Amino acid sequence: MVEVRRWLPGFVALSVIWGASFALIKVAVDAGVPPVWVALWRCLLGAVTLWVVLLLRGERAPRDRALWGHSAVVAVLLNTVPFTLFSFGETRVSSVLAGVMNATTPLFTLLFAVLTVPEERHPGARRLAGLGLGFLGVLTVLGVWRGLGAGATAGALACLAAAGCYGAGFAYLRRFLSGRPESVTTLSALQIGCAAAELALIAPVTAGAPHWPGHAASAALLVLGALGTGLAYLLNLGLVRSAGTAVASAVTYVTPLWSTVLGAAFLHEPVGWNALAGGALVIAAVALTRPRRARTVEPAEDPKGRQPVG
């Protein structure tokens, strides 16, 4: 019980922060902030937060060109493209649906790992069944039997594509960066910093100059960036250190519950039975796709805070 009390506050806080991100995105895009600018402000504020923490810890930015190159690729797959896609998707669908689509990320991660990581080439019947069940859950969430409007279809597919980018990004991260000696704080700061630079080149060209969206949307972007894209990374690291990777990865199960509750309670978004049933199928599928035995080294034993592999 004492051990649970030690990591439970961080677990709950992280799940709420990541679950609330979809409602915060919805507030921003409904105020007229272009999707690519939502992604840019999110990464810029997150990068500032992480680099400040990095400097306070006395860590320096590495000069390894290969590391910067891999970080730039990871930024495209885990931040630049999916953050923009989720923001675009939420101009057409609810934050509730976006949150459930995000829950498919572990399924895409397994799919890309099977294709790219040698030790994952044979996932087994149970995990393959989980993939099938997960995508059945997606079809249930979408309510394909009744059809979707053109706008809603585009929004849902954008959110699903964003989750697919996450899956590809995590597979790339595992293959090229998981064994690096740098701390997670350093790797996160490099990644989010690269994403901010990439989006800073794209946003003005594709969406014009930024504009003041109002107090509510500005506050939403501030929280989304500094807290949801900055401090959340550090909360996740602390959770891994205090409770292990198995507990930390279980945040995936709770995040869609928070996104649904917050979207319904504060944005008054409808929650149909198919969203609840499909979300339950996706969560069950994620449980099936998890390996039975995680072979990882607890980061609490690693003074550099390296991200575990597995």
Burial of 110 (0-12, 13-18, 19+ CB in 10 A): buried
Burial of 122 (0-12, 13-18, 19+ CB in 10 A): exposed
CA 73-282-7 angle, 5° bins:
75
Distances 241 to 19, 179, 184 between C-alpha atoms, Å: 22, 17, 11
pLDDT attached to residue 225: 96
More confident residue, 135 or 51: 51
The Cα–Cα gap between 272 and 277 comes to 9
Residue 294 has pLDDT above 50, yes or no: no
For the chain, which residues make up each domain, given as ranges? 2-301
Residue 226's pLDDT band, with cuts at 50, 70 and 90, is very high
Nearest to 260 by CA among 17, 23, 89: 23
Residue 200's pLDDT band, with cuts at 50, 70 and 90, is very high
- Residue whose structure tokens are 């493209």: 81
The string of pLDDT tens digits covering residues 150-181 is 678 899 899 999 999 988 888 888 788 877 88
Task: Return the DSSP state at 77.
Answer: I
Three-class DSSP category at 128: helix
pLDDT attached to residue 299: 36
More confident residue, 106 or 58: 58
- Are 88 and 35 within 8 A, CB to CB? yes
The Cα–Cα gap between 225 and 215 comes to 15
The string of pLDDT tens digits covering residues 74-116 is 999 999 999 999 999 999 999 999 998 888 888 887 888 777 7
How many C-beta atoms lie closer than 10 Å to residue 192's C-beta? 28
Identify how many contiguous H helices and E strands the chain contains and give both numbers: 14, 0
pLDDT attached to residue 10: 85
Residue 133 has pLDDT above 70, yes or no: yes
pLDDT attached to residue 128: 80
The Cα–Cα gap between 306 and 304 comes to 6
Percent of the chain surpassing pLDDT 70: 85
The string of pLDDT tens digits covering residues 6-32 is 778 888 898 899 999 999 999 999 999
